[in-house]
Structure 1
Amino acid sequence: MSIPLLLLILLLQIVYAQEVCSKEEALSRFKEVLTKYYLWKDRVDGVEWGSLDEAITYLRKKGDRWTAITKLEEDRLWYSKAKMLGVGIRWDDDGQIRRVFRGSPAEKSGLKEGDIIISVNGVEDKELWSQTIRSVPVGNIINMVVKRGENTINFRIIKGEFTVPPIEDVRVILLDHKRIGYIAMTNFTNPAIEDFKKTLEFLNSQKVDALLLDLRNNGGGLISVAKAIADMLIRGEGVMFYLESRSGGPSIYEFKSGEPLFKKPILVFVNRWTASAAELLTVLLRTYAKAVVAGELTVGKYVGSNMYQLDSCGNVLRLVTFEMKLPNGRSITDDMGILPDCVIKANGDDGLSMALDCLMQKVFQEPSVAQP
């Protein structure tokens, strides 16, 4: 094949791809899906937008914090395998790196927990760091400047795949004469089901007296996963909860018959980043298992989303389509979030100690005395 002919074929492929993935067609598909499925359709009736970015900006102004445009392959990777594409770190409000995920691009580059991020690709605004990382194609370099002690260090990190384990920490904590099982759960992806079951089996073998389920910084995930975990901890009869959408009838989730895998008292530890499926599980445990809730007001995401493909280039619309409700018709929470029984704003070990103290006082009616 001659070089000019090859170039012509490549050019035609590029033109064809541009036509298939035209912004106009994606915007038209966006409007079509909103009209059919959007939970808050009344907020957008009669409104026209010139681009997808303009449409999402409008939804944000109308109070929709959740609808977004994402990549199909990235969503599949996340929900099915708990894997993400990025650098593999978690930072706090001060920009300090609190977690470097094992095997991640960040770990391979030398970033460490305790490093303080100064900028990401030249961007110093912390609110824009996640967006900046997402905008970089996989395999490309992300420049990150951090402060480590008295030194300022430049890192060149190749964006890639890493795993976020659903169960981040498991241990048995001794409090005076009580044995408290501790589970830190970070997400509700499919691997969480088997991981949680194995963890419960371990804690039961340790004969713990109670469970402290730490859902701080858990942004949620799949409703089906939250339900599967709820089934391990609570039993009942009839409807456990349901999803109410604008189109079609409600989706009913009933109790599972039989005995729960864990029968001891439960405390759920939440914070202002606990959202969606994590809030659903918290409310279900409080409602049906009389769980104590400690921490801060949660996000207040009482709605959920479905995904709709926008084009053949892998762009999908993650659209708010349903509201999570209890059998009495009340939403699992509201925009203010879940109000804890024990308000705790401290982080780290201090926060955990206060949560344990709440557990001892609310469940066992006695002060806690931690043992090493």
Structure 2
Amino acid sequence: MKKIQILVLTVCVSLSMITCSDDLDDTIRPASNLEISQFIYRGLNFWSLYKADVPDLANDRFESDAERDEFLSQFETPEDAFEALLSPNDRFSILRDDYIELENALSGIRRSTGMRFSLFNDPSGNGNVFGLVRFVINNSPAQDAGVQRGMIFTGIDGVQLTSDSDLSAIFGQDAFTINLADYDTTTEIFTLNGTDITLAQIELSINPVHTARTLTVDGEQIGYLHYTGFTNEFDEQLNNAFAQFQADGVTHLILDLRYNGGGSIETANDLSTMVTGQFDGQLFIKQTYNEDRNPDNEFDRLFNSNIGSGNGGASINSLNLNKVYVITTGNTASASELILSGLDPYIEVVQVGTTTSGKFEGSFLLYDSPDFRRTDNINPNHRYVMLPLVLRSVNANGLTDYFDGFTPDIQIAENFANLGQLGVQGEPLLDAVIDEILLGRRPTIDVETRETPSLFESDQNDILYQRMMNE
């Protein structure tokens, strides 16, 4: 979302008991559950990608508005109505009660400590849980406090984490202290090492261009980009990284999307052009919609030479490559998977890591207004907003519906006891790619190939976790 318009109520209605100095809470009538559920039904009936799977969304389901409202009145909350109207195939649609929070998230503003981590069961099976720091957001409280990738913690605020811990509540606190531990690979025992780090949650504006550097290995110039989210407010920084790759004479590129859950489709389109550049005007992906919406809304996204819509944006810095290496894990989703899907018909895409999430659907915000847009006609009585699945992406070869994700060409999983540092030789997944670039050599049979399932991801409660936005 390039610009966020904030709703401002500029007119106060003069009534005998109300003046322009009244608080908004006094002048705005809170919406009823039915009123919000009516908005939910109207939006899903119009836009839901999986409308055909939900009989209650059929256009002829109710003979009158009164009959529909009677149906909606059975739900105690708007959230209950929303869940009842989703298809079993819909894994990603969301409803939120405050569109301001969601708009902030779309612009890259998150409430976070800056520590990105995963939680796992203790290998001994004792019911305990440990945390592993995946990476640290630049210019964040976690970075300032000295948190580093690969750190292990077993407790929070002096209390051991277990499988019974309320993890969402613990990590939703305004501040908490992580209790660091060491891991003995022989005994498989965690031992507190006496180091504690206190972290505060703040609103962060997160630049997803986390690490961009050129590695010179055996005379080859290898560009490395650890990119954490397709946030179009930072497209300039992304384009600048590719300008540096151009200046460095990069001839091989590694896109590290292992922790990238997606974001803007337009930014994915632009990034694909930064990798290539020789396919201007050709199809990146086609966006298709439900049967009712498809005739008027089906849309071809094309490779183009400018940031954004292609009209008036800065010129894209392209590397004109015929091969790209993409690092993935199970946390790689949506717009990240578009890179794999959209580029595959045109160049060789070598995928390294573990299987991706399997998210090919896109969304956009639906507000309670006549046209579902953020206009002056938005319902002032509530701030509910929907982010439903409304479109599917189809690549130039017709590929879509990849529910099972993309399987890597070189399968290698992260090992929590040997993470290495992102973008630095010695990190196992990076080394596997460099070996493939220089030697055409795949990892040996001793390499870990199975990804350990996590109990909890630090960003799984993020509003935009694994979402793909039609912007």
**TM-score strictly above 0.5:** yes
| Contact in 2 for aligned 1:178/1:209 (Cα 8 Å) | yes
Aligned partners of 1:132 and 1:301: how far apart in 2? 29
- Where 1:96 maps in the other structure, the secondary structure is strand
1:99 has 2:138 as partner:
no
Pairwise CA distance, 1:143: 4.6
- Where 1:30 maps in the other structure, the secondary structure is helix
User: Structure 2 residue aligned with 1:345, among 406, 413, 429?
Assistant: 413
Answer with 40-49 or 215-224: which moved more: 40-49
Aligned partners of 1:54 and 1:170: how far apart in 2? 44
- Map 1:161-310 → 2, pairs under 5 A: 161-234=203-276, 235-236=278-279, 237-246=281-290, 247=293, 248-256=296-304, 261-264=318-321, 265-310=323-368
Aligned partners of 2:165 and 2:431: how far apart in 1? 30
What count of residue pairs does the alignment treat as equivalent? 348
CA RMSD of aligned residues (A): 3.5
- 1:64 maps to 90
| Contact in 1 for aligned 2:109/2:206 (Cα 8 Å) | yes
Aligned partners of 2:146 and 2:81: how far apart in 1? 37
| Contact in 2 for aligned 1:295/1:355 (Cα 8 Å) | no
User: Structure 1 residue aligned with 2:47, among 37, 47, 68?
Assistant: 37
- Cα offsets for 1:34-77 (capped at 9, x unmatched): 11110111333228543233245446781322111234223332
User: Structure 2 residue aligned with 1:329, among 398, 406, 410?
Assistant: 398
- Cα offsets for 1:249-291 (capped at 9, x unmatched): 3111123269972023321111111111111012222321222
| Contact in 1 for aligned 2:92/2:388 (Cα 8 Å) | yes
| Contact in 2 for aligned 1:105/1:162 (Cα 8 Å) | no
Pairwise CA distance, 1:330: 2.7
| Contact in 2 for aligned 1:300/1:338 (Cα 8 Å) | yes
Pairwise CA distance, 1:367: 8.0
- 1:147 maps to 179
Aligned partners of 2:248 and 2:317: how far apart in 1? 17
1:315 has 2:373 as partner:
no
Aligned partners of 2:169 and 2:222: how far apart in 1? 39
Partner amino acid, structure 2, of 1:118: G
Pairwise CA distance, 1:318: 0.6
Structure 1 outlier segments of 4+, above 6 Å: 9-12, 257-260
Partner amino acid, structure 2, of 1:62: P
Aligned partners of 1:254 and 1:335: how far apart in 2? 24
| Contact in 1 for aligned 2:359/2:403 (Cα 8 Å) | yes
Partner amino acid, structure 2, of 1:54: D
| Contact in 2 for aligned 1:118/1:144 (Cα 8 Å) | no
Aligned partners of 1:285 and 1:272: how far apart in 2? 20
- TM-score in terms of structure 1 length: 0.80
CA 1:356 to 1:302, structure 2 compared with 1: closer, same or farther past 3 Å? same
Aligned partners of 1:282 and 1:74: how far apart in 2? 30
| Contact in 2 for aligned 1:117/1:144 (Cα 8 Å) | no
Pairwise CA distance, 1:111: 7.0
| Contact in 1 for aligned 2:137/2:210 (Cα 8 Å) | no
Matched residues, percent identical? Answer: 22
CA 1:128 to 1:205, structure 2 compared with 1: closer, same or farther past 3 Å? farther
| Contact in 2 for aligned 1:267/1:293 (Cα 8 Å) | yes
- Where 1:173 maps in the other structure, the secondary structure is strand
- Higher helix fraction: Structure 1 or Structure 2? 1
- TM-score in terms of structure 2 length: 0.65
- Where 2:297 maps in the other structure, the secondary structure is coil
CA 1:130 to 1:321, structure 2 compared with 1: closer, same or farther past 3 Å? farther
- 1:3 maps to none
| Contact in 1 for aligned 2:243/2:317 (Cα 8 Å) | no
Aligned partners of 1:156 and 1:367: how far apart in 2? 40
| Contact in 1 for aligned 2:43/2:366 (Cα 8 Å) | yes
- Where 2:215 maps in the other structure, the secondary structure is strand
Aligned partners of 1:156 and 1:346: how far apart in 2? 25
Structure 1 stretches lacking a partner, 5+ long: 1-5
User: Structure 2 residue aligned with 1:50, among 48, 54, 76?
Assistant: 76
Structure 2 stretches lacking a partner, 5+ long: 1-16, 58-71, 121-130, 182-191, 307-315, 369-378, 420-426, 444-471
- 2:453 maps to none
Pairwise CA distance, 1:11: 10
